[in-house]
Amino acid sequence: MASHRKSRSTGTRVAGIRTPALATAALTSVALLSQTANAAPSDDRPSLEEVEKKVDDLYRQAGSATEKYNAAKEKTSKQRKKVDTLLDDVAKRTQKLNDARTELGSFASAQYRTGASVPETATLLLADSPQDYFDQNQLMNRLTGRQKTAVDDYVTQQSETMKKRQEATEGLDTLTDSQNDLKTAKSTVQKKLATARELLSELTAEEKARLAAIEKKKQEEAARKAAELAKQQAAEEAERKRQEEAAQQQGSGSSSGSSESSTPGSSNGTQAQKALAFAQAQIGKPYVWGATGPGSYDCSGLTQAAWKAAGVTLPRTTYDQVNVGTTVSVSQAQPGDLVFFYDDISHVGLYVGDGKMVHAPKPGAYVREESIFYDGESSIYSVVRPA
């Protein structure tokens, strides 16, 4: 007997209950929408590696802007001193010009008192250009010797005063440009650091822990590279000494004179040791961009202060410090040498030995000793031995 029951629509069971196909589709759509909603924020959020790279880039850009700030600050300071000198000179010359004008005025008064028909010196004081007046009226032929001297002095003082005033005006314009450059660099540093701080503040506690683990791994790799360099330098030093001893045994002694200059730690002899000792004494002090001590430093401020303590004057910025001295290979680095980083030469440290340096790393950090490979071998720009 044929069945008159309607066939059941196919469906699925949820928790033991058969659900219609339409309901199943609806549940599936809700689930997909829920997954999409949950995934959207994480898809838009940068990965931890991306955040780390972005922050590192921002710190590096801030370091570069800091050196531009240092250069602008130094230029502004020098220009301000130059302008002050010019303004002082203008004031002195203006006083001399006034004195000369007063003397000419006394001649004019004397002419009126004696009833002279032509008050030449009085007319001179009213002329726009004394020299033009002389050329047109041949006044000089009618003046006494004393009057001529007074007029000559007046003309000279007026010319020199006008010249110095022009120089002062140009100097003030240059000073304004330097001050604008200083403000721009300062603003750039502040914006870069603010962005970096904002990115770091958005990390969760777990992400910060993972970031610290990544940094620790980088430091371990940097330490390994430093140990390799130390081993290489020790081998080269041992070979140098072996060759010296062999030469001495042969009665040569020709290399004994170069022993002091090639021995690690003798870069400029005692001066390098003093510079290094000063830098190491600053360990633990905070990095502050634009600072030159004694309570805080930026990278070039530390190296400048260290070598100043040794009696050697270095320029203020990394861009200039890199050009003062002799460039050597990384394997030839000696204590006291300057190690520069990045293509834009925006960072510098003082070599300690064994692949390590003392440097002021970045905002939020302190002066410390660490591997010169702290940011990878490719980040090293050059090594310079100060002259």
One-letter amino acid at 381 equals Y
DSSP state at residue 203: S
Contact present, 196 and 51 (Cβ < 8 Å):
no
DSSP state at residue 117: S
Q: Most distant CA pair in the chain: distance in Å?
A: 157
Helix (H) and strand (E) counts for the chain?
A: 10, 8
Contact present, 233 and 335 (Cβ < 8 Å):
no
Length of the chain counted residue by residue: 387
Query: Which residues does the annotation mark as catalytic?
Result: 299, 347, 359
- DSSP states along 359-382: E--STT-B-EEEETTTT-GGGEEE
Contact present, 374 and 367 (Cβ < 8 Å):
no
What residues have CB less than 8 Å from 145, skipping those under 6 apart? Answer: none
CA distances for 340 relative to 215, 329, 345, 373, 385, angstroms: 21, 12, 6, 11, 11
Contact present, 353 and 331 (Cβ < 8 Å):
no
What residues have CB less than 8 Å from 165, skipping those under 6 apart? Answer: 90
- DSSP states along 272-300: HHHHHHHHHHTTTPBB-TT-BSSS-B-HH
Q: Which residue matches tokens 């032929």?
A: 141
